[in-house]
Amino acid sequence: MSSASQPPAPPKIFSARRRAAVRQRMQALQSRADAARWLADDRVEDVLDRLAFLRHQPGRALVMGDDGGALAPALIAQGVDVTQADVSAREGVLGLDEEAPWPVNGFDLVVSLGTLDTVNDLPGALIHMRHALAPGGLALISMMAAGSLPVLRSIMLAADGDRPAARMHPAVDVRSGAQLLQRVGLANPVADARGLDVRFGSLGALVGDLRAQGLGAVLNDTAPVLGKQAYARAQAAFAEAADEAGRVTEHFEILTLSGWRA
């Protein structure tokens, strides 16, 4: 095939190096007993509820991004043979580049918890996921959806002033997610979103929870570090958004995509 007939490469919005570093930092932070895990807990509960509703009892499962370490044990307790994977390999975890052909297949269930939010070629990653499924296998993908972090977005705009920088990730919405599932050939595709609101008492607590759960910025084009004046504007914007108790309610929109391999 000539290069002229090949589809154009997807734009490099996200940095693979920064992405791996953010996940490694998250894994280190998750080793602490007091680490924020509310997002992981919500995602695991949702996956288990969906499997129970669908009455899908997998024999083999591939789980990516089980950051709180709760989904794999829950599936194992149900008699499932679980393989864990992530961006980088570590003990007991398979290193897997989602945008390259996957080295494993034949799974009745493939779950991605927050690992596909920051790939540059999302359609390609979903195609590789479909190929990793056995016939009749189910793909479940949880991602941060468009509409997430509106408070932090406004704070960063206030901090940057007249020179706004790209600091927040672009995200997929429900409609685009449904179209992606159809595009990659998954049967009976379903895309839905749910909101999760979390209250924070300081900007530092908000940013700390994001870092602890792998939600730090991994954009390929890095924004300049906030200086003292910009950080002061960010703190003032947080205070302005706070309620009478001095707390801000941040919104997280969680997109779930699911489909079957025919």
74 phi, psi to nearest 5 deg:
-65, -40
Which pLDDT band holds residue 73 (cuts at 50, 70, 90)? very high
Residue 152 lies inside a defined structural domain of this protein: yes
The tens digit of pLDDT for each residue in 140-195 reads 999 999 999 999 999 999 999 989 999 999 999 999 999 999 999 999 999 999 99
Our count of domains for the chain comes to 1
Residue 56: domain span:
11-260
Mean pLDDT, rounded, of the chain: 95
Kindly state whether residue 42 falls inside one of the protein's structural domains: yes
At 67, the pLDDT band (50, 70, 90 cuts) reads confident
- Distance of CA 185 to CAs 106, 165, 204, Å? 17, 37, 42
DSSP summary character for residue 93: B
Whole-number Å distance between alpha carbons of 78 and 44: 14
Least confidently predicted of 87-96, 145-154, 207-216, 245-254: 87-96
Q: Whole-angstrom Cα distance, residue 198 to residue 195?
A: 10
54 domain residue, yes or no: yes
Residue-level pLDDT at 89: 87
Answer whether residue 4 is part of any domain: no
Q: What residues form DSSP beta bridges with 255?
A: 143, 193
DSSP H helical ranges for 15-62: 16-30, 38-54
Q: What is the pTM of this model?
A: 0.93
Residue 102 within a domain: yes
Q: What is the CATH number of the domain that holds 153?
A: 3.40.50.150
Residue 236 placed within a domain: yes
Domain-embedded: residue 1: no
